[in-house]
Every structure is written in C-alpha cells, then in structure tokens.
Amino acid sequence: MQPVLRESAAINRGSIMSRYKSGAVGLRTSCLLVAVLTVMATATLVFSNDDDPPPPRLQRVTFNDSKSVTRTIESRVLLEAQDGGLLLEGRDGRLWNVTPKQLQNRDETGDSFQPLSAEQLGEQLSREVAEFGIKTSTQVVVTKHFVVCSTAGRVYAEWCGSLFERLHDAFHAYWTEAGLELRESEFPLPAVVLKDRTEFAEFATKHDRPDAAQAPGYFSEPTNRIILFDLTAGPNSTPAKTAGDIRRKLEASSFNVATMVHEVTHQLAFNSGLHTRYADNPRWLTEGMAMFFEVPDLDSRTGWKTIGRVNAPRLKDFRETLRTPREMLPLADLIQSDASFLKAEQARAAYSESWALTFFLLKTRRDDAVTYLKSVQRKPRLIADSPDDRLREFQSTFGELDTLERDWKKWMTRQGK
Ligand SMILES: [Zn+2]
C-alpha cells in the first residue's frame, strides 16, 4: 500500500497553513481558509500571552457549519478576530472555525468551560455513529485516558483500549526521560472503531471526506478523534472472540497494528502539548514522530519495549529511496514545505525520509531535538511560517544543513545491520 494512503493528508492534521502555502486548497479547506486568514490577521491582539490565558468560559455559539447545517456548540473561544471570526473548541475537543458570516448567535454563559466526561463523550460518539447511518449497535469502553466507541464488539474494543493505554504510558515515559515536559490530555481521547472496512468507509466519508475512506485508519486533527476498524475482521474470517484470538490474528499483519499505533501516537502528540492543533507544525516532524513510535509491541502486557528500535519497513523504503537519487527529496525541501506528502509520487520518500531524520536526530542529537521540539511547541495556532522561517528555525538548532545531511545519510547506512 502506498504510504500516501496511510492517512488522508487533509484530514490527518490541520494542514490549513501548509495547504495555503502550497496552493493545494481543497474544497473544504477553502471554506475554512476564509476564517483562518481572518483570524490570522488579528488573533494575537486577543490572547497575546499563552502563559497567562484568561480563565476559559463556556460559550454557547450558534453558526452554520461548512455544510450549511445550523449547530449550537458549547465551547470555549481559542481565538477571536477583530471582525468577529472565531476558532472554537467544543467540550468534546473538536475545533470549529466560524466566519463572521456563519456566526448567528453567541451566548456568554458565565459558567466555566469543562470538557465532557468520558461517559458523556462515549454517548456523543455513539450518537454520531448512528447519525451517520451505521446500524450496528455501539459499545463504549472507557479506559483511564481513552473512550473507545466501537461496533466491533466489546472484546476488540477492550483490546484496543489496553493497547492505547500501554502506548500512552510508554510515550509519556519516553519524553519524561528525554527531559521534555508534556501534560496529560485535558479531554478524554476519543476513538471510533468500526467493525469492518465498509462501515469505516461510510463513517470516514461522512465524518471527513470521501478520500478518508481509502485510509487504513486516521487521526482527525479538527475533531480530535481516531477512526479505525477491526483489523481482524477480514472478508472471509470470523471475528476474534478472545484477546488471544486478536493477538494471533494481528501478529500476522504487523503493518496494520503499526497503523493503529501510528494514529494513536498522532493523537497523543497533539493532546499532550508535543504539538498544537492548528499550529504550523512541520509535517516531517509530526509524521516522523508517529513513525518513531509506531513499531508495535504485542509481547509485553505492561511495558512497551520497541520505542526507538529501527522501523524495518520504513528503513527499507528509505534505502530504496537512497538508491534512486531522483526520488530522494533534498533535506531542505522536506523541512521547508509539506507539499511532498500530498504528491503520490513523492509521498513514500517524504514518509521514509521523515522517519529517518527523526530517528537520526532522536538517536544522535536528542538534547538538540528536544530544544527544537520546544520551539515548535511554542508556535501559535493559525499562523503560517514561511519556508525560510522553517529552515532558519531548524538550522538554528541543528546547524548547517549540508553537514547534517551528509552525517545523516552516512549514519543511516549503518542502521539495521
Ligand atoms: Zn501520520
């Protein structure tokens, strides 16, 4: 499967700015773009100091969404433009861009903003599944940090919840040890797990866009949800009935498990403060992080021992890219622009080089990598960096690019041997 299908570029992250810069503005994005540009102009006038935000208040906001559906959302205002455009965050963690034209009513309640409880979020996810025309009944499994709403049966949902929790703990432990302070998610983390690819395609098309249905699973940056389907349910196989069944079936398809881990890593990264949703996070970095963590560990019940190991399929892709110079993207291109991720003929190189670069930096220059991550963490939402800004920021931490590129390729040839 082509890496480009791992996730739909437009839905996986709030790539509004990068799409703006690359000029590849899709239908839905163009609707958002109006709001984005409005907010960008004046956002900093409202909340100029991230360290000292005003206490969040619950606002009930009524607006027509991009599909002309009238919605009333209980939310907090993250950004407000002078012309009245808003970036809202709902109690389920979903982000909404509202233009002045879409806005109908704004009711300041005076109450404080509270995320939905895990149980409330589970009920909301179940309603969404039903509203999208999926007839299979849902079951909700709540774990310490996740809410898994599934049509794939309780056993599979519980197995997912336990995998996600193990990854959560390993992810946080890794960054604590690296000296990067992250926070626990303010919101329970939503996952929708459909029983098969057909239901997944139906849900993904309505939740996001038709091209989302092609992915084997994805994290939706606007809605904060991960959307997956039961990987053990092949067209000619019976659903797994026990955790042992699930494990046996999944061991035969490690690529599929890597997809799940990859998408959960995106969700953890965007909810722990490693990245900020709708900030201009370089794509090589967000994808590189997800691939750094995606090597599954199904062996251990409690730990997660594979973080930082060579990602064999990505290394194979990287080696093949290295052997085909016309496919290899210059490091400067990868750092300055996200465009290669959106082009089918460049996506494999973009993913494998992003993994290799992240792997190299975290293995050989981890303190510098943490310094760089801290600078990316401070990026404001909805402000696009220029290609030059991106390059300057990267080089100010890692030094001159030619030297780094040479060292990187040399070091990579020794990996996996
Ligand atoms: Zn990804």
Q: How far is the CA of 336 from the centre of ligand 1 (A)?
A: 18
- Given a cut of 70, whether residue 154 has pLDDT beyond it is yes
73-119 pLDDT, tens digit each: 999 999 998 888 999 999 999 999 999 999 999 999 989 999 999 99
Q: How far is the CA of 378 from the centre of ligand 1 (A)?
A: 21
- Given a cut of 90, whether residue 407 has pLDDT beyond it is yes
Confidence of residue 29 (pLDDT cuts 50, 70, 90): very low
Domain boundaries, the chain: 16-112, 120-255, 312-413
Q: Which residue type does 209 have?
A: R
- Given a cut of 60, whether residue 27 has pLDDT beyond it is no
Model pLDDT, residue 76: 96
Q: How far is the CA of 160 from the centre of ligand 1 (A)?
A: 18
Cα dist from 163 to 48, 170, 296, 304, 328, whole Å:
39, 11, 9, 10, 35
Confidence of residue 36 (pLDDT cuts 50, 70, 90): very low
Cα dist from 224 to 94, 356, 415, whole Å:
6, 27, 35
Of 30-34, 260-264, 294-298, give the lowest mean pLDDT range: 30-34
Contact assessment for residue 247 and residue 163, using Cβ atoms and an 8 Å cutoff: no
**pLDDT: which is higher, 17 or 306:** 306
Residue listed under structure tokens 């303190």: 367
Q: How far is the CA of 125 from the centre of ligand 1 (A)?
A: 23
Maximum mean pLDDT: which of 229-238, 245-254, 333-342: 333-342
- Map residue 107 onto helix, strand or coil: strand
Confidence of residue 41 (pLDDT cuts 50, 70, 90): very low
Model pLDDT, residue 297: 72
Model pLDDT, residue 231: 81
Confidence of residue 25 (pLDDT cuts 50, 70, 90): very low
Confidence of residue 1 (pLDDT cuts 50, 70, 90): very low
Q: How far is the CA of 294 from the centre of ligand 1 (A)?
A: 10
| Identical topology for domains 16-112 and 120-255 | no
Mean pLDDT (whole number) for 229-249? 76
The pair of three-digit structure tokens given for residue 28, joined into one six-digit string: 């839905």
Contact assessment for residue 94 and residue 75, using Cβ atoms and an 8 Å cutoff: no
List, in sequence order, every beta strand (DSSP E) within 122-184.
Answer: 139-142, 146-150
Model pLDDT, residue 34: 32
Question: Residue 348's closest CA among 373, 385, 323?
Answer: 323
- Given a cut of 70, whether residue 33 has pLDDT beyond it is no
Q: Are strands 189-194 and 226-229 parallel, antiparallel or unpaired?
A: parallel
Mean pLDDT (whole number) for 319-343? 94
Q: How far is the CA of 385 from the centre of ligand 1 (A)?
A: 21
Confidence of residue 67 (pLDDT cuts 50, 70, 90): confident
Residue 53 exposed, middle or buried by CB count within 10 Å (0-12, 13-18, 19+): exposed
Question: CB atoms < 10 A from the CB of 315, how many?
Answer: 17
Residue 270's contacts (CB-CB under 8 Å, 6 or more residues apart) are 219, 221, 224, 276, 277
Q: How far is the CA of 32 from the centre of ligand 1 (A)?
A: 22
Percent of the chain exceeding pLDDT 90 equals 69
Q: How far is the CA of 368 from the centre of ligand 1 (A)?
A: 23
Alpha helices in 208-343 (DSSP H): 243-251, 254-271, 283-293, 312-323, 331-336
Question: Residue 292's closest CA among 277, 315, 280, 308?
Answer: 308
Contact assessment for residue 220 and residue 227, using Cβ atoms and an 8 Å cutoff: yes
- Given a cut of 60, whether residue 322 has pLDDT beyond it is yes
Q: How far is the CA of 263 from the centre of ligand 1 (A)?
A: 6
Q: How far is the CA of 287 from the centre of ligand 1 (A)?
A: 5
- Given a cut of 90, whether residue 252 has pLDDT beyond it is no
Residue listed under structure tokens 């622009």: 337
Maximum mean pLDDT: which of 24-38, 145-159, 209-223: 145-159
Q: How far is the CA of 135 from the centre of ligand 1 (A)?
A: 29
Q: How far is the CA of 381 from the centre of ligand 1 (A)?
A: 20
Q: How far is the CA of 259 from the centre of ligand 1 (A)?
A: 9
**pLDDT: which is higher, 258 or 275:** 275
Q: How far is the CA of 266 from the centre of ligand 1 (A)?
A: 7
**Separation of CA 256 from chain center:** 17
Q: How far is the CA of 247 from the centre of ligand 1 (A)?
A: 23
Of 11-15, 99-103, 120-124, give the lowest mean pLDDT range: 11-15
CATH architecture for segment(s) 16-112: Roll (2.30)
Using the Cα atoms of residue 136, residue 140, residue 66 and residue 6 in order, give the sign of their dihedral: negative
Contact assessment for residue 376 and residue 397, using Cβ atoms and an 8 Å cutoff: no
Model pLDDT, residue 208: 85
Q: How far is the CA of 206 from the centre of ligand 1 (A)?
A: 20
Cα dist from 71 to 62, 68, 138, 231, whole Å:
5, 9, 24, 34
Q: How far is the CA of 276 from the centre of ligand 1 (A)?
A: 15
Adjacency order of strands within the sheet including 103-112: 95-98, 86-90, 70-80, 57-64, 103-112
Domain 120-255, CATH number (from 1.10.1760, 3.30.1370, 3.30.310, 3.40.30): 3.40.30
Q: How far is the CA of 173 from the centre of ligand 1 (A)?
A: 21
Mean pLDDT (whole number) for 259-276? 96
Confidence of residue 239 (pLDDT cuts 50, 70, 90): low
Mean pLDDT (whole number) for 344-371? 97
Residue 169's contacts (CB-CB under 8 Å, 6 or more residues apart) are 304
Of 107-116, 192-201, 225-234, give the lowest mean pLDDT range: 225-234
Question: Residue 282's closest CA among 398, 178, 414?
Answer: 398
